[in-house]
Copies of this chain bind each other. A is one copy, B any other.
Amino acid sequence: MRNIKICIAYNGTAYHGWQRQNNNITVQQLIEDCMGRITNGKITAHGCSRTDAGVHAREFYLNAKTESAIPCPGLMRAMNKMLPDDIAVLSCEDADEDFHARFSAHGKEYVYLVNNAKHKDVFGSDLALFYPYPLDEKRLDGAAKLFVGKHDFAAFCKAEAKEHLKTTVRTVYDFTVTRSGDTVSFTVSGDGFLHNMVRIMVGTLIYVSEGKRTEADILRSLETGERTDAGVTIPPHGLYLNKVFY
């Protein structure tokens, strides 16, 4: 059996996230169906992450086993021909048999984009959060640094998701907030992320900007683990899985 490692990018607007669901179209389903047709067999794709509905990926890795002899360049070409315009295969290679897109990853980087302009962007309304109010990226960059390090992120996790977890301790490697013109980017890397963790951290930073939370509240929420000490879960359409570290 070959073990194929594939990197894809996708615009998540039309999909209910990565993971197969019974009643919704997901990226996993399209990838498995597409690879299955090309290799003439049943494919199970292991993704590096579950992404929520509406979340995008600039780099998303998956692996899948197959007995097909199709060379990787041909597989990639055939997949790009068959997949819709909002999913692209960026690379495709044979990997070691024990490579697993999720368990082999050392960490990930996410980016959250905010369109901090006076007018909405008619060409990217699904690709960034439109937020026409003042945002002080320097202050937010300082506040974002409070998340860096090994902490219990229980306050930054969707309530229902917590019950199934052994631990809510994670390590954030870096967290920066930068501006380029009207676009404010929140870039965070870490060894792993809880469900909604990035969206709640960014939402908390927006609350700091609005005076609804302070830097002291961030520190307290990391102590108490209380979801209510953190801020709002910001909408999914500004979020991108940006890099996966192997």
State how many angstroms separate the Cβ of A147 from the closest Cβ of chain B.
27
Q: Which of A85-93, A151-159, A183-191 contacts B (4 or more CB under 8 A)?
A: A85-93
Residue in contact with A11 in the complex, picked from B56, B86, B122, CB distance below 8 Å: B122
**How many residues belonging to A are interface residues under a CB distance threshold of 8 Å?**
20
Q: Does A9 touch B at the CB level, under 8 Å? A: yes
Contact A88 B11 (CB under 8 A): no
Q: Does A29 touch B at the CB level, under 8 Å? A: no
Q: Does A127 touch B at the CB level, under 8 Å? A: yes
Q: Does A133 touch B at the CB level, under 8 Å? A: no
Q: Does A120 touch B at the CB level, under 8 Å? A: yes
Nearest first, the 6 closest Cβ-Cβ pairs linking A and B are A85-B125, A11-B122, A86-B122, A88-B122, A9-B122, A88-B119
Q: Which residues of A contact B (CB under 8 A)?
A: 9-11, 56, 80, 85-90, 119-127
